């Protein structure tokens, strides 16, 4: 699958992958934190137990490795051979009762236990450097496990996301093919029906029957527009052809001239500004013409008799700006994004189609590297603003190569 649907599905796949990777990372981090806390608590408990046993055994001269013991009393000071000169901790010797504290002396961490036995004070200090080294090795192991788990989660998540999204992508592709096939098959008989209704309406005298035939002609024309929109939407593909310079001002003038008859029959003033000066963009003329047609059709359709529709096109720096403004029924500002959804209908207005055409318009504009925005208020009209990149010089345009041609008519 290609096109907008493929981009959406790709984003969904990456979101699922990242969510799974984040969940795996959090789980590994929590497990690592629990292991670290358990190890730290175990080391502290073992160290305290060793110090109690050393003091209970009164093994000053024969203290176990990494433990230094001191006995002060009766004018005598006994100490473990080769004990650090900074020990014992004098502040703890002056305390009363049993005291267990951790000290950092000359960059070395010691766990010190001090006990008072009458006139004798006994102190044992455990060098914790090796315990700290063990924790550092645990840090490194947990870091490697975290990175490995994250990579494994990313790979696994990507594979699972692809498998989960594959049926959805296939269903969307089938839906698109069905819409394209159905629209194509309906277009030919509908065209015949429209032509025959026109011929019959011309041969029928004015009256009730003539009015009904005119309504049939109008209905078949609108039905044909729906079929064309569906067919065009179903054909969206990122194929590219050589872009060409398109005078958007000329397109606006041509479309406005064609719509002027319809505007006059509805007693609507159609004003065009800026169509005399060239405003060249890179793109597909038929696609851009459809943008202008859709916006003008929408504006005229939502403007009551006696109203006004203004169309302006001008170059603003490196962009060309097209504005279509009307003083019709408008729309709720909260619907400014929703009206670009397919088959959406505004909360105000005559109930005409409001979504597919504008949805296609946005896709055309975005495929040409532009943007479209809508502003309006109920009863105060609406304004649609399209901004497209201005055409590059011919040499640059040739080097730039292709632009999306998915909007070119078949």
Q: What are 99-142's pLDDT values in tens digits?
A: 999 999 888 899 999 998 888 899 899 999 888 888 889 889 88
**Percentage of the chain surpassing pLDDT 70?**
80
Q: Distance of CA 174 to CAs 168, 181, 409, Å?
A: 10, 10, 22
> What phi and psi values does residue 371 have, to the nearest 5 degrees?
-135, 155
Q: Where does CATH 3.30.565.10 sit in the chain?
A: 240-404
What element of type H or E holds 107?
none
C-alpha distances in Å from residue 304, one per residue of 54, 300, 335: 99, 8, 21
335 DSSP assignment: G
Is residue 187 scored above 80 in pLDDT?
no
Show contacts of 128-135: CB within 8 Å, 24+ apart: 128/43, 128/47, 128/102, 129/66, 130/66, 131/43, 131/47, 134/39, 134/43, 135/36, 135/39, 135/40, 135/43
Q: What is the mean pLDDT of residues 74-82?
A: 85
For 240-404, give the CATH class: alpha beta
Residue whose token pair is 């025959």: 196
**Alpha carbon of 243 to those of 239, 282, 329, 409: distances in Å?**
12, 6, 37, 14
Question: How would residue 317 be classed by pLDDT, with cut points 50, 70 and 90?
Answer: confident
CA nearest 326: which of 364, 255, 379?
379
What's the pLDDT at 229? 61
What is the pLDDT averaged over residues 174-199?
72
Q: What is the mean pLDDT of the chain?
A: 80
User: In the chain, helix, strand, coil percent, each to 5?
Assistant: 55, 20, 25
pLDDT of residue 239: 39
Give the DSSP H or E segment for 379: none
Distance between CA atoms of 260 and 266, rounded to whole angstroms? 10
Per-residue pLDDT at 351: 43
- Residue pair 80/59 in contact (Cβ under 8 Å)? The answer is no
The share of the chain scoring above pLDDT 90, in percent, equals 16
pLDDT at 320: 93
- Going by C-alpha positions, the residue among 56, 108, 63, 111 that lies closest to residue 83 is 63
Is 70 exceeded by the pLDDT of residue 5? no
Least trusted range by pLDDT, from 200-209, 278-287, 384-393 = 200-209
* pLDDT at 404 > cutoff 70: no
Determine the average pLDDT of the residues in 289-317: 89
**Within 13 Å and on the Cβ side, how many CA atoms surround 82?**
6
CB atoms within 10 A of CB 395: 8
Flag the least confident range among 103-112, 173-182, 193-202, 250-259: 173-182
Q: Strand pairing partners for 320?
A: 315, 388
Residue 325's alpha-carbon distances to 317, 337, 360, 380, in angstroms, are 22, 17, 19, 11
- Please answer whether residues 252 and 311 qualify as being in contact, where contact means their C-beta atoms are separated by less than 8 angstroms: yes
More confident: 394 or 182: 182
The answer, yes or no, to whether residue 402 has pLDDT greater than 60, is no
Helix 208-234, helix 129-203: angle, nearest 10: 150
Question: Tokens standing for 130?
Answer: 């090796």
Tell me what the mean pLDDT of segment 273-295 comes to: 83
More confident call, 408 vs 197: 197
Taking residues 175-197, report their average pLDDT: 72
Range of 228-232, 255-259, 339-343 with top mean pLDDT: 255-259
Within 8 A by CB and 6+ apart from 377, the residues are 330, 331, 332, 333
């Amino acid at each position: 699958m290609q096109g907008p649907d493929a981009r959406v599905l790709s984003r969904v796949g990456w979101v699922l992958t990242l969510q799974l990777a984040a969940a795996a990372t959090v789980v590994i981090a929590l497990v690592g934190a629990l292991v670290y806390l358990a190890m730290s608590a175990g080391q502290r408990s073992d160290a305290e137990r060793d110090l109690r046993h050393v003091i209970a055994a009164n093994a000053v001269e024969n203290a176990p490795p990494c433990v230094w013991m001191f006995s002060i009393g009766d004018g005598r000071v006994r100490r473990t051979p080769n004990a650090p000169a900074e020990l014992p901790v004098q502040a703890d010797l002056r305390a009363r009762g049993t005291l267990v504290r951790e000290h950092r002396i000359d960059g070395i961490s010691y766990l010190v236990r001090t006990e008072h036995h009458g006139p004798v004070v006994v102190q044992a200090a455990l060098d914790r450097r090796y315990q700290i080294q063990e924790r550092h090795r645990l840090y490194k192991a947990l870091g490697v496990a975290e990175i490995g788990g994250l990579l494994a989660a990313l790979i696994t998540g990507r594979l699972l996301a692809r498998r989960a999204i594959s049926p959805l992508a296939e269903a969307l592709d089938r839906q698109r093919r069905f819409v394209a096939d159905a629209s194509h098959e309906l277009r030919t008989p509908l065209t015949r029906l429209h032509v025959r209704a026109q011929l019959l309406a011309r041969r029928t005298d004015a009256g009730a029957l003539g009015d009904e035939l005119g309504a049939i002609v109008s209905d078949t024309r609108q039905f044909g527009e729906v079929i064309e929109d569906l067919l065009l939407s179903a054909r969206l593909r990122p194929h590219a052809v050589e872009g060409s310079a398109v005078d958007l001002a000329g397109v606006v003038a041509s479309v406005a001239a064609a719509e002027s008859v319809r505007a006059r029959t509805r007693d609507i003033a159609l004003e065009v500004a800026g169509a005399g000066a060239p405003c060249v963009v890179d793109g597909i003329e038929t696609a851009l013409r459809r943008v202008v047609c859709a916006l003008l059709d929408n504006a005229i359709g939502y403007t009551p008799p006696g109203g006004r529709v203004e169309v302006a096109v001008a170059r603003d720096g490196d962009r060309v700006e097209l504005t279509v403004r009307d003083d019709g029924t408008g729309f709720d500002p909260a619907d400014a994004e929703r009206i670009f959804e397919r088959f959406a209908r505004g909360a105000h207005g005559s109930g005409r189609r409001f979504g597919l055409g504008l949805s296609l318009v946005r896709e055309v504009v975005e495929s040409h590297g532009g943007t479209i925005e809508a502003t309006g208020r109920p009863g105060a009209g609406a304004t649609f603003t399209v901004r497209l990149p201005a055409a590059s010089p011919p040499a640059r345009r040739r080097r730039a190569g292709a632009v999306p041609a998915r909007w070119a008519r078949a």
